């Protein structure tokens, strides 16, 4: 047994410092709760005052960047080998990323946030139809494209470098184009430590919120007093046991099955509220909400209330900036989980699946629940629901009292919250274990269960001591430096994709077209030896010049006016003048280009003692990019000239190419 426990896969430079930080901050937030809360709240207020603009530009930029990737040629790149196939069906994939990304949040805030905006809107009069429209606009903004874009960027970076570059599936790998091998050193460890702590401290308060809502639902159904800490502790313990069982089976079984159950239960509850509530109003409101959101997307995206009063500005920092910070702080966990389940999908499919489809479901959910609670408050409850909008734990169950079969709806919601709760906990534990482990090895079950225990213990201690708010505030503070990391991840991804595309589009050398394998030893010697200026000049004199002269002589005999132009020993060209068209030119000249810095130190690459490479490159009158012909023999070079001349003649008879054929471009 001891031997089995000792066989861990922890990356100790990440695991041990993370554990020390977790214990230290947990002790601070519980033993000095008031002081911690005061310090963290003051720091958060300073950040929101000075860096709200930074969050707005960063989150908006991430969304624009991902949409740009999806519609560009980069969208065709697959997350893995070119022949990779997705590991999970499209429906299972959507169910898992949705459950991990926002499932329990939608249950908690689905009626709470729209109603709170309705009671206290940023710009319009409260509790009016205009306030209802603004409430849904703001809710769509906070839970729509921007939130999923933050998750999507981190997930895409991890999946791309993990499956395409075969790097470890950890956050440090996303910085490989910038740090190169340094990702395996202290800088890489620091990035993973930061991501791990953000993940745990983001998950733990959410566990407490979920426990509070479950306790409120049980109280409404049974009449029991569930306000005590012991009941909430029992709820957390039960959920963690179930999460441990799910985590022990891994993503492919436990998490996948629970996520599919989540989606089924969520759809059932959604349809129940839609068809037992104000159905016609909800259908009309859905069209109106989407229209307003899309129509005002630009102004909503960059809205900072710079010209508004202090009340609106306070709403902006308390809601929008807080949400942006929250999504950013959750992005290591959700992004890593999304990456784990996305192997084999194209970037375009990934962006559509992660941003557009979950957002569409979120819009439907928020419309059905948010507009319903507002409608009932205005037309049936006479303000009774809005009067309790501050008690979000019980608000969902209060809302069900105005629908048919309230006990059934509450029971279904309790089950859905519990399953979402378990899914978030088990997927969170798996991602914590992944961040702290060597990705090339499968971790033992006890190691995954350890993270379930740490997560549950952290949430319980915070709930007991009242340190939950302090830790939540600290997590939001950590979002600022992580925003900088996200920007660096976007830049790294762009560099990686550019290199990938350049690599995939690199064709075989044109000089291989006419080669039949003869004289292969001589060709290998040329490939492995870096040519000097003398070598290239000799090649032009002994191979290129005789070949071009031979072709020119034959063309003159055929009635063509072919000339050979040699400026110096470094450059020679065959020229055939044409009336009314650009001349045909096939030339070869010596060109220098810098050697890649890494190539100079790699013993497996051709030997090099100079930082510049000298090559005989072709050039043409139409400005096309030339290619290296140093491996061609005389007969092969003649064949290449004729191939280019045949292309020239074909284009001269093409109407579509007439403009380019007659342009005065010269090299």
Class of 2-496 per CATH? mainly alpha
Please state which of the ranges 28-42, 352-366, 515-529 shows the lowest mean pLDDT: 515-529
Contact present, 397 and 216 (Cβ < 8 Å): yes
* Per-residue pLDDT at 453: 87
Contact present, 159 and 308 (Cβ < 8 Å): no
Q: Give tens-digit pLDDT for 8-66.
A: 788 889 899 999 998 898 888 788 888 888 888 888 888 888 899 999 999 999 999 99
Distances (CA, A) of 31 to 26, 27, 172, 350, 477: 8, 6, 33, 44, 20
Q: For residue 432, give the 3-state DSSP assignment.
A: helix
C-beta neighbour count of 394 within 10 angstroms? 16
* Per-residue pLDDT at 244: 78
Residue 638 CA to residue 634 CA, distance in Å, equals 6
**Phi and psi angles of residue 329, each rounded to the nearest 5 degrees, phi first:** -70, -25
* Per-residue pLDDT at 552: 94
Q: Is the pLDDT of residue 67 over 60?
A: yes
73-95 as b/e, with b when 16 or more CB fall inside 10 Å? Answer: ebbebbbbeeeeebbbeeebbbb
Q: Give tens-digit pLDDT for 533-555.
A: 888 888 999 999 999 999 999 99
CA-based torsion, 483, 484, 487, 492: positive or negative: negative
Q: Residue 346 forms beta bridges with which residues?
A: 78
**Phi and psi angles of residue 592, each rounded to the nearest 5 degrees, phi first:** -110, 145
Residue 595 CA to residue 323 CA, distance in Å, equals 48
**Phi and psi angles of residue 262, each rounded to the nearest 5 degrees, phi first:** -55, -50
In which band, very low, low, confident or very high, does the pLDDT at 1 lie, cut at 50, 70 and 90?
very low
**With 0-12 CB in 10 A as exposed, 13-18 as middle and 19+ as buried, what is 127?**
middle
Q: What is the DSSP string of 445-471?
A: HHHHHHHHHHHHHHHHHHHHHT-HHHH
Residue 206 CA to residue 210 CA, distance in Å, equals 6
Residue 212 CA to residue 208 CA, distance in Å, equals 6
Q: Which of 204-208, 582-586, 610-614 has the highest mean pLDDT?
A: 582-586
In which band, very low, low, confident or very high, does the pLDDT at 508 lie, cut at 50, 70 and 90?
low
* Per-residue pLDDT at 3: 43
C-alpha torsion angle, residues 591, 594, 595, 598 (rounded to 10): -170
Q: For residue 6, give the 3-state DSSP assignment.
A: helix
Distance of alpha carbon 627 from its chain centroid, rounded?
37
Contact present, 254 and 92 (Cβ < 8 Å): no
Distance of alpha carbon 37 from its chain centroid, rounded?
32
C-alpha torsion angle, residues 159, 165, 166, 167 (rounded to 10): -80
C-beta neighbour count of 308 within 10 angstroms? 15
Average pLDDT over residues 577-604: 73
Distances (CA, A) of 21 to 88, 197, 335, 469, 620: 36, 8, 22, 18, 64
Listed in sequence order, the residues at least 6 apart from 317 whose beta carbon sits closer than 8 Å to its beta carbon are 48, 49, 52
Of residues 175 and 104, more confidence is placed in 175
Average pLDDT over residues 631-653: 85
Please state the domain extents for the chain: 2-496, 514-661
User: How does the average pLDDT of the chain come out, rounded?
Assistant: 83
Q: For residue 221, give the 3-state DSSP assignment.
A: helix
Of residues 649 and 98, more confidence is placed in 649
Q: Give tens-digit pLDDT for 280-333.
A: 999 999 999 999 999 999 999 999 998 988 888 889 988 999 889 888 888 888
The rounded percent of the chain whose pLDDT value lies above 70 is: 87
């Amino acid at each position: 047994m001891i031997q089995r426990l000792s066989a861990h896969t922890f990356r100790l430079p990440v695991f041990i410092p993370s554990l020390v930080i977790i214990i230290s901050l947990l002790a601070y937030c519980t033993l000095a709760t008031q002081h911690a809360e005061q310090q963290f709240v003051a720091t958060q207020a300073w950040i929101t005052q000075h860096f709200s603009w930074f969050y707005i530009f960063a989150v908006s930029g991430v969304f624009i960047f991902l949409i740009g990737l999806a519609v560009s040629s980069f969208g065709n790149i697959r997350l893995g080998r070119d022949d990779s196939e997705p590991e999970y069906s499209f429906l299972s994939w959507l169910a898992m990323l949705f459950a991990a990304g926002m499932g329990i949040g939608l249950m908690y805030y689905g009626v709470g946030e729209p109603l709170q905006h309705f009671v206290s809107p940023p710009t319009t009069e409260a509790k009016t139809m205009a306030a209802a429209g603004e409430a849904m606009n703001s809710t769509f903004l906070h839970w729509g494209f921007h939130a999923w874009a933050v998750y999507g960027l981190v997930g895409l970076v991890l999946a791309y470098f993990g499956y395409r570059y075969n790097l470890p599936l950890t956050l440090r790998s996303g910085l490989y184009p910038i740090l190169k091998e340094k990702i395996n050193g202290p800088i890489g460890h620091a990035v993973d430590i930061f991501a791990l702590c953000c993940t745990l401290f983001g998950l733990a308060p959410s566990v407490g919120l979920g426990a509070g809502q479950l306790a409120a639902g049980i109280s409404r159904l049974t009449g029991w007093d569930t306000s005590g800490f012991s009941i909430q502790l029992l709820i957390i313990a039960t959920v963690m046991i179930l999460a441990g069982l799910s985590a022990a089976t891994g993503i492919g079984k436990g998490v996948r099955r629970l996520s599919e159950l989540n989606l089924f239960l969520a759809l059932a509850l959604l349809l129940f509220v839609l068809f037992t509530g104000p159905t016609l109003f909800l259908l009309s409101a859905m069209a109106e909400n989407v229209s307003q959101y899309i129509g005002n997307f630009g102004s909503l995206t960059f809205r900072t209330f710079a010209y508004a009063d202090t009340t609106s500005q306070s709403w902006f920092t308390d809601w929008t900036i807080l949400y942006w910070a929250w999504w950013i702080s959750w992005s290591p966990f959700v992004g890593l989980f999304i990456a784990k389940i996305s192997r084999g999908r194209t970037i375009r499919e990934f962006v559509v699946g992660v941003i557009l489809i979950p957002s569409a479901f979120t819009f439907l959910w928020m419309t059905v629940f948010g507009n319903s609670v507002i409608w009932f408050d205005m037309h049936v409850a006479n303000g009774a629901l809005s009067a309790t909008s501050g008690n979000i734990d019980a608000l969902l169950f209060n809302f069900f009292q105005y629908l048919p079969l309230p006990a059934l709806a509450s029971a279904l919601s309790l089950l859905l919250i519990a399953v979402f709760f378990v899914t978030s906990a088990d997927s969170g534990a798996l991602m914590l274990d992944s961040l702290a482990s060597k990705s090339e090895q499968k971790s033992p079950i006890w190691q995954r269960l350890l993270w379930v225990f740490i997560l549950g213990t952290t949430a319980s201690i915070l709930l007991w001591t009242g340190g939950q708010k302090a830790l939540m505030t600290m997590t939001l503070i950590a979002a600022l430096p992580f925003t900088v990391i996200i920007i660096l991840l976007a830049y790294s991804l762009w560099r990686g994709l550019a290199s990938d595309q350049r690599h995939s589009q690199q064709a075989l050398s044109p000089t291989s077209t006419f080669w039949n394998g003869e004289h292969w030893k001589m060709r290998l010697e040329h490939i492995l030896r870096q040519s000097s200026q003398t070598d290239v000049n000799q090649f032009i004199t002994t191979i290129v010049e005789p070949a071009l002269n031979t072709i020119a002589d034959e063309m003159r005999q055929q009635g063509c006016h072919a000339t050979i132009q040699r400026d110096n020993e470094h450059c020679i060209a065959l020229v055939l003048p044409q009336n009314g068209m650009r001349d045909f030119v096939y030339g070869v000249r010596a060109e220098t280009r810098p050697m890649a810095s890494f190539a100079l130190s790699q013993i497996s690459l051709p030997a090099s003692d100079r930082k510049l490479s000298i090559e005989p490159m072709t050039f043409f009158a139409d400005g096309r990019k030339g290619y290296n012909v140093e491996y061609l023999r005389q007969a092969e070079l003649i064949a290449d000239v004729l191939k280019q001349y045949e292309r020239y003649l074909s284009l001269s008879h093409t109407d579509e190419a007439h403009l380019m054929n007659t342009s005065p471009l010269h090299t």
